[in-house]
Structure formats: structure tokens, C-alpha cells
Amino acid sequence: MEGITSQHTPRTVEDVFIDFRGRRAGLIKALTFDMVKFHQTCDPEKENLSLYGLPNETWEVNLPVEEVPPELPEPALGINFARDGMQEKDWVSLVAVHSDSWLLSVAFYFGARFGFGKNERKRLFQMINDLPTIFEVVTGNAKQSKDHSGTNNNNSKSKPSGLKVSKMSSPLPKEEDESEDEEEQGAVCGACGDNYGADEFWICCDACEKWFHGKCVNITPAKAEHIKHYKCPSCTNKRARP
């Protein structure tokens, strides 16, 4: 397990949030784009395994630490045992819920350890709460409420510069623009869970209809011009799995 590196002094709310966001990104990768590898790693024949998100936006499935008490709160134990006893989407959703709980416990462990006061704890929670949960991302429910979207920065009200591949070079007609305005205000990247910005290239998966930052799925505007029907890595992996 990795904590916040020693050069991050003093221990601030921003430090803890950076750690939270890195671990969260790693967990989302495990449960979406790296799903085939994650599924294979969680062998029910192995001992109790746990899914760890690391601050450098990577993940690992490993045995729990042996030290008691552990340096950091531990994630859910034995996720591999339930893998073949549930439908995959239900198993992934369950792991996502436990991962959300673990992330919060780690963040507020650091808050207690670094002596955060009431205002610092409140600010940390608000920063965390502005991000969709892992559960919301992996189940496709990661959309901000109408009231919440109005409190974001100006970029969150702008449309993605690359909507559907077929639409990315021109704006939507006015009528379609107005009818889809509410839905697009809540659009978030299916990979990282962040809201879109006006200057970012986005692409939509034609299979699951989720939006993605081009950089998150390694697609550039030039490459997208030659794609007739785009499938995100998660949908591609599902089709390839026996």
C-alpha cells in the first residue's frame, strides 16, 4: 500500500484529495478498461484477495497486509470468492460499492491523522462529493443533478467539442441542442468520471453510448475521423471474452 509521499508537506486537504483521486482512477480502470485482467486476477481458487487503488492511478489485487493494525484502512476482503457466484455486472457493482467505501475511509483516515478541523473535513468531503462515485461510473449512472450542475465552473455547462464521431466537426442543430441540453450538462467521462470541458475532445461509444475523453481512450480527433462505429475498450473486451 502507498500513502501520501513524504514530499507533500504540510499535509493539506489538497494533498489528501490528490491521493483520493489517484486511487479512484486506478480502481475505475480495474472495473472498466482493465476488466478482463481484473476478472482473471480474482481467481476464486486463491486466498482472500482485495482490490487496491494506488495513488499513481494504478490498481492491484493482492492479499491483505499482515501487520495489525494496518498502516491504512483495508479494502473489502475476499472479493474473488464471489466472482463466479454472481452475474458479472452484479459482482462488479458490489466491488465498486466497497471500493467507494474504502476510498472514503482512507481519505478521512488521513484527515484524522493530519489533524483536520471541521472546516477542512467539510472542504475535503465537498471536493470528493463533486466526483461521481465508482459505482456510478461503472453502472453508467454518473450524471450530475440539475441543481448540482449549476454550481460547477463555466466549462461544465459547455458541450463537449467532440460529441458523436459523426458530429464532432460541427455543432448540433439548435433544436437538438436544446432538447439534449439537460442530458449533456450531466455528461461525465466513462473512464475517469470527470465532467467535460469546452476545449476537450470527446467521443461516444456506439455500443454503450457512454462519453469518453479522447485522451482517456487513446483516440485523437484525426484518428476518430476514420472510425465509423466506435467501441470503447470495455465493450470491446466484453465481445472478446468467451
Gap between the Cα atoms of 213 and 216, Å rounded: 5
Structural domains of the chain sorted by starting position, each given as residue range(s) with its CATH number in brackets: 13-139 (no CATH), 187-241 (3.30.40.10)
Using alpha carbons, list the distances in angstroms from residue 70 to 17, 106, 107, 123, 235.
21, 12, 15, 27, 37
CB 20 within 8 A of CB 106: yes
- Residue found under cell 462519453: 211
Which helix (H) or strand (E) element contains residue 117? none
Q: Provide the 8-state DSSP code for 104.
A: H
Tell me the pLDDT tens digit for each residue of 191-233.
Answer: 887 776 667 888 888 888 888 888 888 888 888 888 888 888 7
The candidate with the shortest Cα–Cα distance to 227, out of 204, 211, 200, 209, is: 204
Which helix (H) or strand (E) element contains residue 213? strand 211-213
DSSP state letters, 110-179: HHHHTT--HHHHHHHHHHHHTSPPHHHHHHT-----HHHHTTS-GGGGSPPSS-SGGGTTSPPPHHHHHH
CB 206 within 8 A of CB 231: yes
The residues, any chain, with a CB within 8 Å of residue 30's CB and separated by 6 or more, are 38, 51, 53, 59, 61
C-alpha cell at 240: 472478446
- Gyration radius from the chain CA atoms: 19
Tell me the pLDDT tens digit for each residue of 56-88.
Answer: 999 999 999 888 788 899 999 999 998 988 899
Of the pLDDT bands very low, low, confident and very high (cuts 50, 70, 90), residue 238 is low
Side chain identity at residue 225, one-letter code? E
Q: Is 33 left (phi over 0), alpha (psi -120 to 50) or beta?
A: alpha
pLDDT score for 175: 45
Of the pLDDT bands very low, low, confident and very high (cuts 50, 70, 90), residue 105 is very high
C-alpha cell at 199: 476545449
CB 97 within 8 A of CB 86: no
> Does the structure show a pLDDT above 50 at 7?
no
Single pTM value for the model: 0.66
Of the pLDDT bands very low, low, confident and very high (cuts 50, 70, 90), residue 139 is confident
Taken as a whole, the chain contains a residue count of 242
Side chain identity at residue 88, one-letter code? E
Helix, strand, coil abundance in the chain, percent, nearest 5: 45, 5, 45
Tell me the pLDDT tens digit for each residue of 162-177.
Answer: 444 433 433 344 444 5
